[in-house]
Structure 1
Amino acid sequence: MTEKKREKKLYYHGLKEQKKLDVSRLKYISILLSVIGVAILLVAAQSAQAPLVKVSDVYGNYMMNYAVVRVSGTVASVPYVSQSGGKLSLTFTVDDGTGQIDVRVYSPLADEMLKKGVIPFPGDNVTAEVQLRVRETYTYSMLQYLDGLKFDSKLYSENPQVVTSLTPDMANTYVAVEGIVTEFLNVSSGYLLTVDTGDSEVAVLIPRVLLVFNDFNVKVGDTVYAPGIVYLYKGSSPEIVVRDLSQVSVKSIENAPVVQIGEAHGYPGMAMSVEGSLAGVTYESGRYVITLTDGQNYLEVIAPREVLANLDPFRVSSESVIKVAGKMGDDGRLVAAYLSIVKPGKAEFRPIGTLTSDMIGSIVAVKGNIEEVVRVGSNLKLVVDDGTGKIDVFIPSATLAEISNETIDKLKDGLGVEVGGYLEEYRGALEIVVYTGAGIRALGEPVRPQTVELPRVSASQLADYKGQPVEFAGSLEGVTYSDGTYYITVDGVKVSLQRDALLNLNPLEAGTGSQVVVRGTVVDESLVKGENITVEVPVAPVPLKPDEVTTEMEGQLVAVVGKVTDVANLSGNLKITIGNLPVFVPRAAANELTYVPSAGDIVQVGGYVEIYRGEPEVVVFNPLAIEKLQQGGSVEGTVSDLKTASEPLLLAVNWDSIAYQKPDYALTVSDSTGSATLLAERSLLPNPLEAGTGSTLKVVADPLSGRITQLEVIKAKPSPLLGTGAVDLSMKGKTVAVKGTVSEVATVGSNLKLKVDDGSGEVTVFIPGGADLSVKEEQIVSAAGYVDEYNGEAEIVVYDLNAVIVEEAPSEGPSEETSATEEVKVAELSSATGVVNLTVVWDELGYDNGYFMKVHDDSGSAELPVQRELLPDPREAGTGSTLRITYDADAKKVVSITVVEAVPAEELKTGKVTLDLLGKTVVVEGTVKDVYVGSSFIKLTVDDGSGELVVFIPKSVAGDMSFEKGQTVRVAGYVSEYKGTVEVIPYRTDCIEVR
């Protein structure tokens, strides 16, 4: 059929339908096509890449919060891994040239990355599809899926170049190092090794990200081969970061060759083993020192606690032979990495009463009953008594962690215990330090007390007991002091005693002739090394007047009664003058005084007589040997009663005026019954800056002499601050205060005269006895005193040197003196002279008989002694701050500190303060769990929920602050350590807040 005919057949009217079409299935076909289309669109959407962005465009951009983007750049940090609640998280930093952003990976994706070894390292080029989190001060990102991380690990080699030192220009190269491990630190980012290559020391980091699913054992003394990427720590310090543990090899120190003790020091830097008898153990700066001997030669071995813990204190004695392996240091001491017992010695339990200071360093074992259990921070202290004596047992926190809970539960009062450790002296008393968990055996039941009776001997019998412990009985004759040790004389024999032991003797109660018993070791017939003293029959001393003490009494114990005429603080020591007799109270005793005399007090003082500059003085060694005596005879009265009374009167008066009446001052006082003028010593007068005329006073007045013998401020009225030009003769006798610029300075004998002007007019300020004050023209001075007349003009007389405060004058630029100060580098300090300036970065703070700062610049580093008062507030400028230091190179001390660029101390959780932060300033806050008050310090155990931390507060810093359990404290200070325990030590009172 042709096309034309076929068309007619279809469309002409009246034609019959050729075939019937069924269209009901078309709807199913259309639905199927729709589903297929949507699926195709979904697949296309999933395969589409997120947009590639610049870090600088999204950082801090709140519009991008939760956005999914791609970032591309170079890994700029060692990946950091953490485990919390059993789940892993991984963080690394990407730098794209416009900024840096942290990429976080959380479990289980982090677990997958670590197991597959898909770990970005510094220098790798990465592209990561992440979801952004934009916070107020911090923007970070989260990896969504593993395929969203693409990186090119170019920094890798099967055969890297072996180097002996690192330089910053090696950054992002792949090298290897081989040498001996001289230091091992477990830091937050992994294991940090110091490897000695023979030419230099190289830092090697085994990242913690490689240690999660892998074991890696290395110790000091081992020889390691470690390849990795050179990474600049803090942008400047090169270190090797290992990225493949399978490439690291370790040769154990245990296989080191054996060297004789007498020859060991001749091989510095060599890994070696030595064998010798154990001669002693001591503690030094976070590590232990073991002394070995071959009978003729001695060798000191430096060992961490983990190594020393291999020495079972119940299996060793002075006859034991031990083997130690490690690396010989340049100082002739072996740094130990391995220790074993070759020949055990016979260890016996010693009676506590036979332990003496001659045995310090020895490993000893004792058995007794626990008398007291005390928590000291994270450490534990026991007091053990075996019937022959008592001894403190100190268990450091690291050792405590090795003791089972079952054993700890049995360390209770009254129960028996076996203790093994080394003998040490702490604050004049012996204690056993337990250095391993195996050194404590809790018996769970009391033990029978031992009995050791030392022979009681007299002076004539001492020669027969040379080298033996005895009880030496005799008559007390006197006390002397030499080179840190006190000596008492008993029947002509000298007995050495530490001050803590001597505190059992109070010279106000037991003087010359008292019968005493000294427990100690006989050195020879003329000397006993005493451990403690007991007064059996006290003989009370006869009180003396100050003028009755003479040079012929040197070394004798005396008691003196009299009136205090002066009190002075001499760098922590106290000097009290009673009448004309000086009384010296050393710092240790002064810090423990419960009563500090004031001028005018009537006191009784006990001590021994010493000759100082040809004159006698009394030295107080017992803080209980200063007592205030009540002054009898004074009764309450009024000013009008002064006319008829014969006994001292206690008066409450208003202070009206003051004048000088050589050698005293005349105070005019009044109450509702009248007024009177009374004489008073200068030492009784209050500081006029704090309390001047107009103040309410309580005084004890002697009506017969017209003198004030005691004075107390009841209601203080500070002297009013006036303009210098406003001071005139109408104010004569009144106290005033002024502040202005010094225009003229003149020294008149021992006195000082100033011209002061605040812009309103000039006034003269006269300071009796002020010639030694350092005041210069152009300085700003505040001063308070009374108005007097001189040559027809008003002048201010300052009768209290504490009422003079000198400030530096402000200036627009550096003064001639400042500009002339030489600017030097740290490396030039050793050759510098005079006063110089340094611009440095503050690295650490420490204390060793005074504070010292560790600082550095680009030329080197140095330790500078510094007074505490000069240190900046760590909350504003802590370690890491850039400082400008004025330094006296001749006197070797810091003169002043100016903060150039402040870095506030980091705020940390209490459980995050570790020994890695030694010397760094930190801020911590937590609840006080324990308070321990020592003679010169306060120790707090503080916890914010993350772990306990010891806060050590010197009483010179704490002032009059007190602490209780349950308080919340906030402290800023520096990180230190004591016997392996980390501590935070504040050095400013205002950095201790109790909330």
Structure 2
Amino acid sequence: MVSNSSRGNDNSKEEQKRLYYHGLKEQKKIDVSRLKYISLIIAVLGVALILIAAQGAQAPLMKVNDVYGNYLMNYAVVRINGTVVTVPYVSQSGGKLTVTFTVDDGTGQIDVRVYSPLADEMLEKGVIPFPGDNVTAEVQLRVRETYTYSMLQYLEGLRFNSKLYSENPQVVKSLTTDMANTYVAVEGIVTEFSNVSSGYLLTVDTGESEVTVLVPKVLLVFNDFNVKVGDMIYAPGIVYLYKGTSPEIVVRNLSQVSVTPIEEAPLVQISEAHGYPGMVMAVKGSLAGITYESGRYVVTLTDGQNYLDAVVPREILANLDPFRVSSESTIKVAGKMGDDGRLVAAYLAVVEPVETEFRPIGTLTSDMLGSIVAVRGNIAEVVRIGSNLKLVIDDGTGKIDVFIPSATLAEISNETMDKLKDGLGVEVGGYLEEYRGALEVVVYTGSGIRALGEPVPPQTIELPKVNASQLADYKGQLVEFVGSLESITYVDGTYYLTVDGVKVSLSRDALLNLNPIEAGTGSQVVVKGLVVNESLVKGENLTVEVPVAPVPLKPDEVTTEMEGQLVVVVGKVTDVANLSGNLKITIGSLPIFVPRTTANELAYVPAEGDLVQVGGYVEIYQGEPEVVLFHPLAVEKLQQSGPVEGTVSDLETAVEPLLLTVTWDSIAYQGPDYALTVSDSTGSTTLLAERSLLLNPLEAGTGSTLKIVADPLSGRITQLEVSKAKPSPLLSTGAVDLSMKGKTVAVNGTVVDVAVIGSSLKLRVDDGSGEITVFIPGGADLSVEEGQSVLLAGYVDEYNGEVEIVVYDLNAVVVSEKPSGGSAETNEVKVAELSSATGVVNLTVVWDGLSYNNGYVMKVHDDSGSAELPVPRELLPDPREAGSGSTLRITYDADAKKVVSITVVEAVPAEELKTGKVTLDLLGKTVVVEGTVKDVYVGSSFIKLTVDDGSGELVVFIPKSVAGDMSFEKGQTVRVAGYVSEYKGTVEVIPYRTDCIEVR
């Protein structure tokens, strides 16, 4: 069975051979059992060769924007080339480090993370990328839904193409954004230290500014670094823009950083300290004073002969307890000597303390400024000023302000704050300062306030009473100065009284104890103040002991010789004007100037027509006297009664209106009124009268008997009637001469010449005996032409040495004949008709603006269109009365293409604007501005002022033809009316009338 089976198998194999190898010779048998070993060896070698090739091949260099958010790149290994733009951030979790930095290749930014143990190796070897470095990193990508980051695969996969580094970097005093990605160094004193998540954050004071330095945490993991406030540091690093805007220095190499502890600073004599700029040093001396400057305090030390200023942060100054350390104490200050000779301090210690004594407030004087003082009193007022606090305390000898800055306020406990209330006692320690002319104590540390919780009894002091001859013996002392008041002046925010020949400075608040209506020149006063020298007392308070009431004066009795004297003026208000918060009250023709502070306190503001008495001092303004009202109660309204009969001589003493019967002697023009000279048996006087009160001289001229009501205070005629009329005598034109000046006359003749001058008319009249000039103010609209016969009357006057008749009443002109041919009418045309008009025409238009182009050009319009008309400067209206926007009647010579006359139909005064509100949108418009002169430039044909009222600077351009002989200086206040123009993009205001420029 077995053999048969074997045979069967053998036969089967033979059959297969014949089937698959048909026609072939049978091959020799081969043993393939070893092939499996050979194939395995070949496979292993192949894989090894593939691995070796893979390690030698670089990952592809990719752009950030090609991989960011690309899910197909998740887990891909790529290379990123770009600039490091962040400070490496270190985090520790579970004892393992992670370092993260950001690379920007220009197409985008991507974070590169380095995990432990690779992160530990990176920090230990110092292979750390910093902002500004250009690197190539082989990373594996992680693409998430909203965030793509990368992981460094191995340390050799981080290659530095360039490093932001220098062995000898430039030392800078301050940082700017322009320094970004530069390598610099800073040297100075550490004034602030913070341990933040990104490392140690330092503030370094270089003496010129404060610079922020970051010692990154990535450098601190395996290194010790010790620094504190007050130490001197030299720190190089990369200028990095924190949050893209704030420059700071990021240290990249701790071995380059050097720290000098402040306690080790060598002691230098005050007299020699200035000679070592840049050196870290310590000095000792007595505390001579404290002041505040731009966020820091300046402590002045002295060795008795030499002085040294040390600039100290408040945190350092707070080490001085003002109750335990007086100005006589010896202190030690350490820091770096600046190039300006001042020590930039970061360390302060008391060497020999001298306790501060409490002083009565009334004994504090300005010669103690900067000294540490301590006062005790009751709170009279508590005021919040922003985040600061102000107390007013009173100890019975005087009051003083106490200023507590916000930083100090934050150090005061809630318990103390609860006791800072009106009426409760308080002890205050700080340095003495002067603010707006008044003394105040500045509390620079929270320990300088002690709230007592209950009132303290008042103190008393007795000052020596001295007269002018004794002042020299009390120099530097507080006294009560007694003397006779002579005058008052005002200079740069301070009032000065002259008392028995001695100048006494005084604040406005103290001056308000003097009401000039009740106490004038000659009053005996007592001034509490500091004796500066025998001719100057710095006053703190004023008391009137024996008042001498001034004698009331009429407005015209105040003269320039009275400058500085106290006066009381009685009269009628003729005008009240607001000058940017100041008031100008005119009594008769005398201006009363009321400063803004006083104007805001007036209980009674006079109105035009009121009878008032005003007290003040005399000042000279533009060569004329004015009275300055400094006391809000020194203006009173007086009751008026009806006129009483009187004589011319009674005008000298009367204050109420008088009814007079007088003879009219002469008349003259005293713009805008007319001056009438009248007389009776008691004397003669000249009074002003409005034109509307004047009589028709054809019916009643000089020589007439008049009944008038005269106001003795203003010197004006308020009512006028004819008691006995005397017509002006009719004379031949050739008989009128200058001997008749001021008298009224009448003439009858033929018009030989007619000229329109502005709103006035000028004629030449001849009756055959000789020509006479006739001037008719406001007569431009009269229909008078050459060849007509006229009868007219007016007063005789002189013009340019020639006689003329001035007709002040248009009813005193009678035209009896029209010339043959022609018309006396002037055509009325519209703006649109100007181009075809001929001869002289009239326009009624709205004034839109003014410009200058080889002469002044007015832009006007009516309902038919607009036009630009050349106009002589002398015809332009006063913009304070009628500016752009006014309706004008213009007489225009269409042939000569020029304006002949301008009459204001409806006046719109120029708008008063703040200097900072005048913009190019107002080109051509008339405006009124007032401000302080900040700069003056005088050109060959112009004067250019820069003025500012606090809202912004404005250029005022004044042609010298307008300025005349006026001059300007910095610090003056000017008020200007003119039109808005532009020069090279700069807005200007240009006045075109001299009287529109006021200088105070």
Post-superposition offset of 1:431: 0.8
CA distance in 1, matches of 2:483, 2:451: 41
Structure 1 residues 170 and 375: CA distance shift in structure 2, 3 A: closer
CA spacing shift, 1:578–1:343, aligned 2, 3 Å: same
Q: Work out which of the residue numbers 832, 836, 839 in structure 2 matches 1:725.
A: 832
Contact 2:372 2:431 in 1 (8 A): yes
Equivalent in the alignment of 1:205: 213
| 1:802 paired residue among 898, 910, 914 | 910
Q: Which residue of 2 aligns with 1:823?
A: none
Distance in 1 separating the partners of 2:85 and 2:242: 10
- 8 Å contact kept, 2:843–2:892: no
Contact (CA 8 Å) 2:849, 2:859: kept in 1 or not? no
Answering whether residue 387 of structure 2 is matched by residue 378 of structure 1, we say: yes
Aligned to 1:760: 865
Describe the shift of the 1:382–1:208 C-alpha distance in structure 2 as closer, same or farther (beyond 3 A): farther
Residue 969 of structure 2 is matched in structure 1 by none
The Cα shift of 1:511 comes to: 2.7
Which position in structure 1 is the counterpart of 2:263? 254
Secondary structure of residue in 1 paired with 2:444: coil
Match of 1:352 in 2: 361
1:114-513 → structure 2 map (5 Å cutoff)? 121-123=130-132, 161-165=167-171, 177=185, 179-181=187-189, 191=201, 193=203, 205-206=213-214, 217-219=227-229, 222-231=231-240, 240-243=249-252, 248-459=257-468, 462=471, 465-482=474-491, 485-513=494-522
| Match among 763, 773, 784 for residue 886 of structure 2 | 784
Give a deviation string over 1:470-514, Cα, whole Å, max 9, x none.
233444332123565422233554322133422333324433344
Question: Taking structure 1 as reference, are residues 464 and 266 closer, same or farther at Cα in structure 2, changes over 3 Å only?
Answer: closer
CA contact (8 A) 2:673 2:691 kept: no
Match of 1:531? 540
In 2, the alpha carbon distance for the partners of 1:479 and 1:294 equals: 43
Q: TM-score, normalization: structure 2?
A: 0.54
Q: 2: distance between equivalents of 1:242 and 1:583?
A: 69
Cα separation, 2, equivalents of 1:768 and 1:429: 51
Alignment gaps of 5+ in structure 1: 6-50, 83-89, 106-112, 135-140, 635-646, 649-660, 666-676, 681-701, 707-721, 775-780, 812-832, 836-846, 853-864, 871-893, 900-995
Conservation of the 8 A alpha-carbon contact between 1:505 and 1:535: yes
Q: Which residue of 1 aligns with 2:531?
A: 522
In structure 2, relative to structure 1, the CA distance for the partners of 1:620 and 1:459 (3 Å cut) is same
Letter of the structure 1 residue corresponding to residue 910 of structure 2: N
CA contact (8 A) 1:282 1:289 kept: yes
Separation in 1 of the partners of 2:128 and 2:614?
74
Deviates more, 1:299-308 or 1:457-466: 457-466
Instruction: Tell me how far apart the structure 1 counterparts of residues 89 and 603 of structure 2 sit (CA, whole Å).
Output: 53
3-state secondary structure, aligned to 2:375: strand
Q: Which amino acid aligns with 1:784?
A: S
**Alpha-carbon distance, 1:363 to partner:** 0.7
Given residue 180 of structure 1, which amino acid in structure 2 is its aligned partner?
G
8 Å contact 2:188–2:205 — kept in the other structure?
yes
Amino acid at match of 2:169: V
Query: Does the C-alpha gap of structure 1 residues 482 and 231 become closer, same or farther in structure 2, counting only changes over 3 Å?
Result: closer
Displacement of 1:429 in angstroms is: 1.7
CA–CA distance in structure 2, aligned partners of residues 629 and 56 of structure 1: 88
Counterparts of 1:564 and 1:408, CA distance in 2: 53
What is the SS of the residue equivalent to 1:402?
coil
List per-residue Cα deviations over 1:838-884 (Å, max 9, x = no partner).
xxxxxxxxx999989xxxxxxxxxxxx955999xxxxxxxxxxxxxx
2:587 and 2:113 map into 1 onto residues whose CA distance is 73
Contact 2:190 2:202 in 1 (8 A): no
Looking at structure 2, the residues matched to 479 and 169 of structure 1 have their Cα atoms a distance apart, in angstroms, of 56
Structure 2: which amino acid aligns with 1:522? Answer: V
In 1: Cα distance, 2:85 partner to 2:155 partner? 16
8 Å contact kept, 1:155–1:172 = no
2-side partners of 1:148 and 1:724: how far apart?
89
Q: Deviations over 1:931-956 (max 9, x none)?
A: xxxxxxxxxxxxxxxxxxxxxxxxxx
Secondary structure at the aligned position of 2:553 is classed as coil
Worse-superposed segment, 507-516 or 288-297:
507-516
Q: What is the aligned partner in structure 1 of residue 846 from structure 2?
A: 737
Larger Rg: 2
Query: Partners of 1:726 and 1:794 in 2: how far apart?
Result: 17
Measured against aligned partners, the alpha-carbon deviations of 1:110-163 in whole angstroms (never above 9, x if no partner) come to xxx99xx999852466879788899xxxxxx59899999999595999997242
1:725 counterpart letter in structure 2: A
Whole-angstrom CA distance in 2 between matches of 1:556 and 1:253:
62
> Do the aligned residues in 2 keep the contact of 1:740 with 1:756 (CA within 8 Å)?
no
CA distance in 2, matches of 1:416, 1:610: 45
The percentage of counterpart residues that share the same residue type is 62
**Could you tell me which amino acid in structure 2 is paired with residue 398 of structure 1?**
A
| Alignment check: 8 A CA contact 2:171 2:187 kept | no
Counterpart Cα distance in 2 of 1:869 and 1:71: 66
2:516/2:634 contact within 8 Å kept: yes
What secondary structure is seen at the aligned counterpart in 1 of 2:412? coil
Q: Matched residues in 2 for 1:622 and 1:131: separation?
A: 80
Instruction: Map residues 899-918 of structure 1 onto 2, 5 A cutoff.
Output: none
Q: Secondary structure, in 3 states, of the residue corresponding to 2:357?
A: coil
Alignment-mate amino acid for residue 375 of structure 1: R
3-state SS of paired residue (1:161): coil
- Contact kept in structure 2, 1:265 and 1:332, CA below 8 Å: yes
> Residue 743 of structure 1 contacts residue 755 of structure 1 at CA under 8 Å; is this kept in 2?
no
User: For residues 792-871 of structure 1, what are the structure 2 equivalents within 5 Å?
Assistant: 797=903, 802=910, 866-867=953-954
Q: 1:512·1:539 contact (CA, 8 Å) conserved in 2?
A: yes
Q: Is the CA contact (8 Å cut-off) linking 2:875 and 2:901 kept in structure 1?
A: no
In the alignment, the residues of structure 1 paired with residue 947 and residue 151 of structure 2 have an alpha-carbon distance, to the nearest angstrom, of 54
Give 1:425 shift.
Answer: 1.3
Structure 1 584/259 Cα, relative in aligned 2: closer, same or farther at 3 Å? farther
Counterpart code for 1:273: A
SS at match of 2:552: coil
Deviates more, 1:342-351 or 1:566-575: 566-575
The SS at the match of 1:371 is strand
Stretches of structure 2 that go unaligned for 5 or more consecutive residues are: 6-59, 92-98, 115-121, 644-655, 658-669, 675-689, 694-716, 722-828, 924-938, 958-981, 988-1000
Instruction: Work out the CA distance in 1 between the residues paired with 2:159 and 2:606.
Output: 76
Change (3 A) 1:740 1:348: closer
Distance (Å, rounded) in 1 between the aligned partners of 2:884 and 2:486 = 53
Aligned counterparts of 2:872 and 2:332: Cα–Cα separation in 1: 72
Show the 5 A alignment for 1:569-648.
577-585=586-594, 604-612=613-621, 614-622=623-631, 625=634
Q: Does structure 2 conserve the Cα–Cα contact (< 8 Å) formed by 1:177 and 1:225?
A: yes
Q: Aligned partners of 2:720 and 2:263: how far apart in 1?
A: 87
Instruction: For residues 564-606 of structure 1, give each alpha carbon's deviation from its aligned partner in whole angstroms, at most 9, with x where no partner exists.
Output: 5567788887655443334445566567778877877765443
Task: Name the structure, 1 or 2, with higher relative contact order (CA <8 Å, separation 6+).
Answer: 1
Alpha-carbon distance change, 459 to 177 in structure 1, aligned in 2, over 3 angstroms: closer
Q: Which digits, 9 at most, give the CA deviation of each residue in 1:775-807, with x for residues without a partner?
A: xxxxxx954233254569997645566179999
8 Å Cα contact 1:367-1:418 kept in structure 2 = yes
- Tell me the distance in 2 between the aligned counterparts of 1:758 and 1:77: 69
- Does the Cα contact within 8 Å between 2:847 and 2:888 map onto a contact in 1? no
